[in-house]
Structure 1
Amino acid sequence: MQLPDSPKIPKFMQLVQWIYQPLQLMENSAKAHGDCFTLWLTNKQPMVFLSHPQAIQQLFTDNLSNLDSRGSAQILQPLLGENSLILLSGTSHQRQRKLLTPPFHGERMKAYGSIIANITKEVVNQWKIGQPFSVRNSMQEISLKVILQAVFGLHEGERYVQLQKLLRSILDLSGSALRSSISFFPGLQIDLGPWSPWGNFLRQRQQIDQLLYAEIQECRDNPDPSRSDILSLMMSARDENGEPMTDIELRDELMILLVAGHETTASALTWALYWIHRIPQVREKLLAELDSCSSNADLDEITRLPYLTAVCQETLRIYPIAMITIPRIVKSPIKIMDHQFEPGTLLLGCIYLTHRRPDLYSEPRQFKPERFLENQYSLYEYLPFGGSNRRCLGMAFALFEMKLVLATLLSHIDLTLVNNYPVKPIRRGVTLAPSGGKWLIAKGTR
């Protein structure tokens, strides 16, 4: 089988560069080989990167019997569990997705609006006027508290405090490219006791599991039809055979909600605050739009504001949190554009490169929210949440939260960037995140 061209560097070095310099690797590969190229990022099989919208459309819309996602995201299995939606395929994936859909739509989701606004105000009130603060830490605090309240209805108590601490800690174990390496090299995943990286991870995971199973049991023992948190809704959901999710399935889905539901949103909010304050005219236009809202505007009205929406969309375009889609494994021969792929090939859409195409986005390296007011992009041109039956289930909730946090925060406090503080994209686990540091200062309340 003739695979698309690959960079002229050893396979092992491709993986090393993917861990430490993923954007440079993708950009150089696209510059040398175009819209379709091969990278060797696992010992077992090559991965074909596709960045042309037509190729991504075929990838998303081809008969599901030709492509399979099972096992292609195994790097996440140790943290999320094998029953997590992201790791399932076929009928088990369809069943689980159907059971998980209701809590993230319509009136159910809107019920979390006041929680989001109130938590944001609490965190903003902790900032000291005139002192730089860690934007990432603050956004992580907001998004973690939001997801704990939305998922469990938890806002106080020992279990709430422990979950906060443990989730922050376990995610910080992959908080840099160096610390992320353990996920990419199975040979490093050896338990040498609590002081070894993998041993530390396993013990923290065990503590989180104990807390989650205790919460599930408590919810089972004390059913309350008035509860609107996501765990209660998940536990009451039934599939077409009348079967509920098992405790293990609930645990694995809770992990993806807790991890993806706050970690990715924290990164997106941090980037948004950087760009809003990096480009004065963006901040001015956004504040003018927020100020034009009446003082008694409801949360729905705020989340429909066009420029606020465009700022969030552009934030997720320029540095998408997920750089690639979940890979699909070819099950039967398939032709995508000019390339024929045989069974066993891993195909993925390259979100980062698609979002940087100058034929779609003029001046793609510039932050320009206006492009989303002037143009409409297809599901294969703009895909920060992936696509097809693998599109992120929490997409609507994430955007809803982003808009409300930004609107609440900017309406309550004036912020400014620390002069010349560099904020750059870095690897954080399997995601792309802004670098840390105290690069924002609270000037005063509004």
Structure 2
Amino acid sequence: MQLPNPLKTPSWLQKLQWVTDPVSFMERAARQYPDIFTAELVGFGNTVVFVNHPLAIQQIFNNDRKTFAAPGEFNKTLEPLLGNSSILMLDGDNHKRRRQLLMPSLHGDRMRFYGQLIYDLTKKILNQVPINKTFLARNITQEISLQVIIQVVFGLQQGERYQQIQRLIPAMMSELFASPLNSSFLLLPFLQKNLGALTPWGRFLRQRQQIAQLLYAEIAERRQQDDADRTDILSLLMLARDEAGESMTDRELQDELMSVIVAGHETTATAIAWGLYWIHRQPEVYEKLLQELDTLGDSPDPMNIFRLPYLSAICNEILRINPVAIFSLPRVVQEPVKLLGHALEPGTVLLNCIYLTHQREDLYPQAKQFKPERFLERQFSPYEFMPFGGGVRVCIGQALALFEMKLVLATILLNYKLSLADLRQERTQRKGVVLGPAKGVKMLIKERYVHPKSPMTIATTSAS
């Protein structure tokens, strides 16, 4: 079977380029084949078809359970991190059941409980950064994101378990996501050899096991306490029941918490860091956003911040021009089908490419320019703008991620005057299985405001 538009580059070179510099690899391919092409990658059974045209993506997402499927086995790359009972590893009815259990805790009015806590965490961390001393924005946003996970999701705010998890998560994530070389341990299974605690994979396995033990201990303690007043996400997940009245097992809860660490720590932190970069790189965007924030009054409600139109447009443009995820979760053809006129047979692996779709000039004129106004001037379909994927595998945590992103950016701009310490353009680089700023966004805090605005205090403000 002839797959559509196979790249002519030797297979071994495609795989090397994909691991070391996926952005350049994709952009070169898209210049030749803008809509669809076939490549040889590691991690997906080698041959995959990149899909970059909205009509094809719509066809795939709208036939996600019959003509196409999103099997958990294609997420095996992440199994060493997440475990085998994470939602990402599930298929069919099991996947649908788990989504129904997880959704209520991560959407809707639940966000209101977390607003003040996210605001306070952001200020506490930024207040520890010295004035006029260069720092990496991505390091700061990683710390904020980590604390949101530990306090909002896990419900831990103090104690030895809190201290251990706070130390172990960054150590484990940096072991795998610090550079393209580190990332190769996830992408190339033959490198996953446990040769002792002094080797990269051995250190990772030890850290992963230590985190798992701490999470199991926390779950066991919660089951004994049975505190129905807690509002953290772990407690809500423990209370969740499916249609048959069944709850999640300890193993399922632990794997879902690991999924939050992986999906919510690096991704949200990276998006916020890109936001600080673009807002401070373009003075007109910075000034217009400040004007919008000034309309909130002295005690802005976090939910009003979340609904601000220009802030929302900025966040959408951040996720368009620098999507954290390269593609949505892989799909596999289930029955013979035509896609953009190309015949595909069962077993063909498809990647709906978020990055290339977001760079299309026919959708986003001057696509390399940061222009939030494009999201005020036009409504984009979920097949044109899809930073959280789509179909049955759309990211379940997108509401919390956007809420955190908007609130952290607003909190920083309302309380601090920052500037870029390096005016050279940031380059996008692989960070594990995601994309991030190569240099980490070097910044300075120029000034802390004496009379900051703060979000309205809410009756239940903590996650404990």
Q: Same fold (TM over 0.5)?
A: yes
Give the number of aligned pairs: 446
In structure 1, which of residues 85, 92, 97 is the aligned counterpart of residue 99 of structure 2? 97
Instruction: Tell me the secondary structure at the aligned position of residue 112 of structure 1.
Output: helix
Q: Distance in 1 between matches of 2:268 and 2:46?
A: 31
Q: What amino acid maps onto 2:133 in structure 1?
A: Q
The answer for the alignment partner of 1:173 in structure 2 is 175
Deviation, structure 1 residue 440: 0.4
Give CA-to-partner distance per residue, 1:174-201, whole Å, 9 cap, x none: 2211110111111111111111111111
What does residue 408 of structure 1 align with?
411
- Alignment-derived partner of residue 454 in structure 2: none
- CA distance, structure 2, for counterparts of residue 119 and residue 3 of structure 1: 50
User: By how many angstroms is 1:420 displaced?
Assistant: 3.1
Tell me the residue number matched to 2:51: 50
CA distance in 1, matches of 2:261, 2:198: 25
Asked if 1 retains the 8 angstrom alpha-carbon contact of 2:64 and 2:70, the reply is no
Corresponding residue number in structure 1 for 2:298:
295
The Cα offsets for residues 390-441 of structure 1, whole Å up to 9 and x where unpaired, read as: 1101111111111110111111010111143452211111100112356101
Q: Mean Cα displacement is larger for which, 374-383 or 234-243? A: 234-243
Give the SS at the match of 2:289: helix
- 1:247 Cα deviation (Å)? 1.0
Moved more, 429-438 or 340-349: 429-438
Is it true that 1:15 corresponds to 2:18 in the alignment?
Answer: no
Partners of 2:64 and 2:392 within 8 A in 1: no
- The structure-2 alpha-carbon separation of the partners of 1:434 and 1:302, relative to structure 1 and needing over 3 Å to count, comes to same
Q: Does 1:83 pair with 2:121?
A: no
Q: Supply the distance in 1 between the matched residues of 2:129 and 2:46 (Cα, whole angstroms).
A: 49
Residue 24 (1) aligns with residue 24 (2): yes
Q: Which amino acid aligns with 2:47?
A: P
- Aligned AA (1:338): G
Q: 1:279 to 1:158 in 2, by over 3 A?
A: same
Query: Could you tell me the TM-score, scaled by structure 1's length?
Result: 0.98
Cα distance in 1 between the residues matched to 2:441 and 2:387: 27
Match of residue 240 from structure 2: 237
Q: CA deviation at 1:6?
A: 2.2
The structure 2 residue matched to 1:351, chosen from 354, 370, 375, is 354
- Tell me the equivalent position of 2:308: 305
Q: Provide the C-alpha distance between the structure 1 equivalents of 2:441 and 2:392, rounded to a whole number of angstroms.
A: 39
Structure 2 Cα separation of the partners of residues 424 and 31 of structure 1 = 19
Q: Secondary structure at the match of 1:173?
A: helix
Runs of 4+ in 1 over 4 A off after TM superposition: none
8 A Cα contact 2:131 2:447, kept in partner: yes
Q: Which amino acid aligns with 1:164?
A: Q
> Which of 362, 367, 371 is the aligned partner of 1:364?
367
2:193 alignment partner in structure 1: 190
Q: Distance in 2 between matches of 1:201 and 1:296?
A: 44
1:326 touches 1:386 (CA, 8 Å); kept in 2? yes
Q: For each residue in 1:66-87, what CA deviation from the matched residue of structure 2 results, as whole angstroms up to 9, or x when unmatched?
A: 2222211111111011111112
Aligned residues with identical type, % of pairs: 52
Aligned residue in 1 for 2:259 = 256
CA RMSD of aligned residues (A): 1.2
Is structure 2 residue 131 aligned with structure 1 residue 129?
A: yes
**Is residue 214 from structure 1 mapped to residue 214 from structure 2 by the alignment?**
no
Q: Deviations over 1:119-158 (max 9, x none)?
A: 0110111111111112111101111101111112111111
Please say if residues 274 and 441 of structure 2, whose CA atoms lie closer than 8 Å, have aligned partners that are also in contact.
Answer: no
Aligned partners of 1:205 and 1:248: how far apart in 2? 14
1:236, 1:419 → 2: CA distance?
A: 48
Match of 1:333 among 326, 332, 336: 336
Shift of residue 203, structure 1, vs aligned partner: 0.8
1:430 corresponding residue in structure 2: 433
Residue 371 of structure 1 deviates from its aligned partner by: 0.5
CA distance in 2, matches of 1:45, 1:439: 37
Alignment partners' CA distance in 2, 1:241 and 1:12: 49
Change (3 A) 1:341 1:437: closer
Structure 2 equivalent of residue 142 of structure 1: 144
Answering whether residue 37 of structure 2 is matched by residue 37 of structure 1, we say yes
**Distance in 1 between the 2:64 and 2:219 partners?**
37
Q: Which amino acid aligns with 1:225?
A: A
Following superposition, the deviation at residue 334 of structure 1 comes to 1.9
Give the AA of the match of 1:339. Answer: H
Q: CA deviation at 1:292?
A: 2.2
Q: Distance in 1 between matches of 2:264 and 2:23?
A: 24
Rounded to whole Å, the distance in 2 between the matches of 1:401 and 1:250 is 22
Structure 1 contact 69–88 (Cα < 8 Å) conserved: no
Partners of 1:85 and 1:298 in 2: CA distance:
33
Distance in 2, matches of 1:376 and 1:86, equals: 29
- Conserved in 2, the CA contact under 8 Å of 1:421 and 1:439? no
Q: 1:290, 1:407 within 8 Å by CA — same for their partners in 2?
A: yes
CA contact (8 A) 1:167 1:259 kept: no
Amino acid at match of 2:305: I
Say which SS state the counterpart of residue 346 (structure 2) adopts.
Answer: coil
Equivalent position amino acid for 2:291 in 1: A
CA distance in 2, matches of 1:204, 1:124: 28
Cα distance in 1 for residues equivalent to 2:302 and 2:64: 40
Q: Distance in 2 between matches of 1:9 and 1:74?
A: 26
Post-superposition CA distance 1:351-387 (Å, at most 9, x none): 0111011111110000000111111100000000000
